[in-house]
Structure 1
Amino acid sequence: MALHDLPHPEETGTDAAPHNIEAEQAFLGALLYDNEVLHRVSDWLRAEHFYDPVHGRIYQATSDRIQRGALADAIVLKTDFERDGGLKEIGGAAYLALLLESASDSVAAVEYAQLIYDLALRRALIRVSAELSHEATEATPETHARNLIESAERKLFQLAETGGNQRGFVSFKDALSESVEMAAAAYEREGGLSGMSSGLRAMDEKLGGLHPSDLIILAGRPSMGKTALATNIAFAVARAYQYSTLPDGAKKTEQGGVVGFFSLEMSAEQLATRLIADYTGIPGYQIRRGDIDPAQYEEIRDAVLEIQGLPLYIDDTGGLSIGALCARARRLKRLHGLDVIVVDYLQLVTASENKASQGRVQEVSEVTQALKALAKELSVPVIALSQLSRQVEQREDKKPQLSDLRESGSIEQDADVVMFVYRESYYKEREKPKEGTPEYLAWEEEFRQIERRAEVIIGKQRHGPIGTVDLAFDAARTKFSDLTRDDRYEGIAH
């Protein structure tokens, strides 16, 4: 009996979803004949991409054996499928032998695998289209068309990225494998850094780097340097960007990353000025006023030529809604890649109208939940800046703590990491006595010791310790940096 004569209950006539049973049979036959074929397709072909569920089970069983270093052929798989009812319906163990007869060569097998994958995406696209049509048809009068568009874009992005709508359940074996890979990456870096480097060694030692799927809250009172620190991190990540090119032409990030910076308070031009000051060492206020000499102008011009190609994308739209922010992040990842998101700042992102009408706490809660979901969906760290309440100013000890977060309940709950930027010199400067007095001399000496010191207080870390990171801060360049060894023991002087 020929393979094409065997019945397939899944074939339902002209209305069946796009599929090609012959391609699936030819590919599986080639895989059983030459197990090396798996290594050319395993990065993107999954069992769920097969239209015939029996074919999907055969592929999964074959993959599991090959990945264990064992042989996978029709004779070996016969034992695995003795009790498989689906296989019995289409010929039983004899079907495996017939697959070998229809095997393609190894070169054609990869093309068949690509066809199987493409047809699976087409079927998923049909399902998504049906869902979107239903949502648009059944939408209530209160549902805004903009929300439907954002929902459509989210589903299409998920389809474009993964070939499926949801990740669904993950086996414990796969979860363990991912955990071991993360530990191996940290071990190979010889520094315990399992995530992406922030560009600050002391912070990396505490956090282990910036981790995909984490929501990191960076909070502080005005003028403490929240935006400066976030900009420094974004700039360091973009400068370190290195990638390799996969066989399909896609880019795989090896180091650093592509950064999406949502600046709801400052303009793109202001952020760019800060980056130039960071890179050149020329104070930002001099650049803004044009108070520079010809040599500095040449230095700035050279700096612009050197850094203009960095993968740092700035969106300075004011009053951006959380739905629009998520849609733009997905679009950036689809078009250019995306490894880190920065949101400056949390309280300026608007929520949906129904949450806004329920009060500020509910509005912020929706924003933080959406940012955490976005971090998981795109598998990138999201750094969101947040303001602190004024109650900090009423305490004698002005070091911030978790209860100082505005609308703190939802922020603290959703965040994986909460960090506070604190500079004692900010408050000490406001205690400045009259010049020429004995009090002034004592104040000046004390202020000199702390003027360029900053602390990043880790108030919460879901997967690590809390504590304080000591950093240096250059106000003229709005730049944070690691302390030198001399700084640690002697303090930082002018």
Structure 2
Amino acid sequence: MNQILPPHDTDIEKDVLSVMCNRPELIYQVENILNTECFYRMDHQYLFDVIMNIHNSGSSVTQSAILHQIVPTGKKDILATYQEIKKFFTSDRHLASNAEVLVELSTKRALLVKAYELLGMIEKNAQIEDIEREVSEATNIVISRNTNTEPILMGEAVDGMLELMNREKTEGISGITTGVSILDSITGGWEFDDKVIIAGRPGMGKTAVATYHANVAAAAGNPTAFVSLEVRPSKLASRMISNSSGFSASDITKGRLADNQKKIVVERGNSARKLPLYFYDNTRSRDINDITRTLRSWHRKYGLKIVFIDYIGLICDRTVKNRSDKTAVTESVQSKLTELGDQLGIPLIIFSQLNRENESKSDKRPTLNNLKSSGKLEEDATRVIFLYRQDYYDANESDSRGVDFIPSHNIEYIFAKNREGELGPVELKCNVALNRVYEISRVPAAQPQLNGFQKNESLNGHSHSFN
């Protein structure tokens, strides 16, 4: 294939630079539009950087200031370019529109480079997954470079508000139901722009809560992705079927059920086959780039409406140079998850582990300080919810004293951050053996009778073994 000349327009580059040199008070019109790569010629890139360095320092962009930056370098070609461009000035009327043209041309150049890379990969018979990743990066080039710089006017914002206000509601909420009415009343359901962190120490029921809410979302007809980096899909399915069948996930997967009970599980399982629920297997890559690429693909293919990730602390990023720098890896993962949620426009429910700081306190309920390296994700999150089960600590205490323990099945959803609602704890019930969350005032469906061999150990005081 013949090489294509990278698209560019030298005259427009000169026109933009001449306005910036001769009418520096207009730089504000393009300072958030242009960057160095918008210019094709190297001398134009250098001169743009000189002008912007002066401008960003707070100094006036005068001829004296520009020459003071150029002359000591001895770059006579840049000096000649500057003198030529100073004389090139004709009008400032097209500064903004010309800047948009330069952005578009630079985007095309970047895409051309990516196209050659793709051709090279195809010639070398690269893996289709690697090619797909490059295609995704090409899409990101367009999204990140060719951005709309026009403001959203107040009238448009009001129109958007009215559209949100008049959204069709299902059972009184505009988002995807959590499955618990009191949570729906606080949150309005999982909303399209939600990035929710649900965090807890081991034994607080994170996976039980995740599978419950994901199952409810899918059962309501919402295509749901479940990314689990700890539990295999077959085990996750058993947790979800335990809710509808009334048999514990442990009994289901360990073959403790009688034949008539197995028939119930088979029946519930066959009904569940139809759910729009898509699992990311824990045996797959744990790299954030592979995970986000997969979710983008699923979004195009299945029309995802919500994503659950259990849990963020197990995700890595191969693009971070120093992979042993946990802070750098965490920040990169968080940034890419935030970007994913913004691009897809669907709620992300992200589960996270808490540090041990609260374990030494008498009241072990967590606070925001207990989030592990949450940084950007906490800043961008619409909600941060902590899970707390006193049963976990009481069961351990009973074991150490050698006394029987009767679980209360109480769980607290502690709203530590909530941009559009109240803060504080919401007391619910959570039967972790059946992966069931319900309100204290509501009596859950009756559980089928189990014989002595089949009785679930977690219902006899070991519910803390579930996470």
Coarse TM-score class (shorter-chain normalised) = 0.5 to 0.7
Of 387, 411, 427 in structure 2, the residue corresponding to residue 470 of structure 1 is 427
Which of 454, 461, 479 is the equivalent residue of 2:418? 461
Residue 131 of structure 1: aligned partner: 110
Give the equivalent residue in structure 1 for 2:219: 239
Which whole-Å deviations, capped at 9, do the CAs of 1:92-135 have from their partners, x for residues lacking one? xxxxxxxxxxxxxxxxxxxxxxxxxxxxxxxxx99977533324
Q: Is the 8 A contact 1:154 1:330 kept in 2?
A: no
Q: Does 1:483 align with 2:465?
A: no
SS of equivalent to 2:174: coil
Alignment equivalent of 1:303, drawn from 268, 271, 283: 268
Mark the CA change 1:211 to 1:433 in structure 2 (over 3 Å): closer, same or farther: closer
Contact 1:265/1:318, CA 8 A, preserved across alignment = no
Q: Does 1:366 align with 2:332?
A: yes
SS of the residue 1:238 aligns to = helix
* 1:214 equivalent in alignment to 2:194: yes
Q: Does 1:268 align with 2:233?
A: yes
Asked if the contact 2:204–2:388 (Cα under 8 Å) also holds between the matched residues in 1, the reply is yes
2:315 is matched with 349
Q: Which of 385, 395, 398 matches 1:419?
A: 385
Spell out, residue by residue over 1:225-277, the C-alpha distance to the aligned partner (whole angstroms, 9 max, x if none): 11111111110011011xxxxxxxxxxxxxxx110111111111111111111
Aligned to 2:384, the other structure's residue is in SS state strand
- TM-superposition CA deviations, 1:328-387 (whole Å, max 9, x none): 111101111100011111011112432644721221111112111111100100011100
The 5-angstrom pairing of residues 162-201 of structure 1 reads: 166=147, 169=150, 170-185=152-167, 191=172, 193-201=173-181
Please say which of residues 409-418 and 333-342 is displaced more in the overlay. 409-418
User: TM-score if structure 1 supplies the norm length?
Assistant: 0.61
In 1, the alpha carbon distance for the partners of 2:377 and 2:246 equals: 35
* Mean Cα deviation higher: 450-459 or 174-183: 174-183
Displacement of 1:314 in angstroms is 0.1
Q: For 2:190, what is the secondary structure of its paired residue?
A: coil
| Aligned residues: CA RMSD | 3.6
Q: Is the 8 A contact 1:215 1:371 kept in 2?
A: no
Q: In the alignment, what sits opposite 2:349?
A: 383
CA distance in 2, matches of 1:356, 1:196: 39
The one-character-per-residue Cα deviations of 1:168-224 (angstroms, maximum 9, x if unpaired) are 6444333322222212237x5574x23221111121122121111221111001121
Q: CA deviation at 1:474?
A: 1.1
Q: Secondary structure at the match of 2:386?
A: strand
CA distance in 2, matches of 1:365, 1:236: 31
The residue type equivalent to 1:372 in the other structure is T
Equivalent pair of 1:212/1:376 in contact (CA under 8 Å): no
Rounded Cα–Cα distance in structure 1 between residues aligned with 2:379 and 2:395:
34
Question: Secondary structure at 1:430's aligned position in 2?
Answer: helix
Structure 2: which amino acid aligns with 1:306? Answer: S
1:39-438 superposed matches below 5 A: 131-135=110-114, 150=133, 152-153=135-136, 155-156=138-139, 166=147, 169=150, 170-185=152-167, 191=172, 193-241=173-221, 257-316=222-281, 317-354=283-320, 356-357=322-323, 359-432=325-398
- Which sections of structure 2, spanning at least 5 residues, go unmatched? 1-6, 8-92, 94-103, 119-125, 445-459, 462-467
Gaps of 5+ in 1: 1-15, 17-84, 86-124, 242-256, 488-492
**Cα distance between partner residues in 2 of 1:486 and 1:302:** 24
Q: What residue number does 2:47 align with?
A: none
Aligned counterparts of 1:158 and 1:272: Cα–Cα separation in 2: 38
Deviation of 1:481 (Å): 1.7
Contact residue 355 and residue 366 of structure 1 kept, 8 A: no
Contact 1:155/1:165, CA 8 A, preserved across alignment:
no
| C-alpha separation in 1, matches of 2:310 and 2:400 | 37
* 8 Å Cα contact 2:111/2:141 also seen in 1: no
% identity of equivalent residues: 29
String of CA shifts for 1:281-314, please: whole Å, max 9, x gaps: 1111111111111211111111111110100000
Q: Is the 8 A contact 1:128 1:155 kept in 2?
A: no
CA distance in 1 between counterparts of 2:399 and 2:245 reads 35
- Write the deviation string for residues 45-101 of structure 1: whole angstroms up to 9, x where unpaired: xxxxxxxxxxxxxxxxxxxxxxxxxxxxxxxxxxxxxxxx9xxxxxxxxxxxxxxxx
Please list the CA deviations of residues 10-44 of structure 1 after superposition, one character each: whole Å capped at 9, or x if unmatched: xxxxxx9xxxxxxxxxxxxxxxxxxxxxxxxxxxx
Which of residues 451, 454, 468 is equivalent to 2:408? 451
- Cα distance between partner residues in 1 of 2:257 and 2:109: 61
The Cα shift of 1:150 comes to: 2.7
| Equivalent position amino acid for 1:150 in 2 | R
Distance in 2 between the 1:205 and 1:277 partners? 26
SS in 2 for 1:431: helix
SS across alignment from 2:340: helix
Q: Structure 1: which 4+ aligned runs deviate by more than 6 Å? A: 125-129, 144-148, 433-436
Partner of 2:4: none
Q: Secondary structure at the match of 1:194?
A: coil
SS at structure 2 position matched to 1:185: coil
| SS class of match (1:195) | coil
The residue type paired with residue 183 of structure 1 is M
SS of structure 1 residue aligned to 2:397? coil
How many residues end up aligned between the 2 structures? 336
Alpha-carbon distance in structure 1 between the residues aligned to 2:141 and 2:244: 37
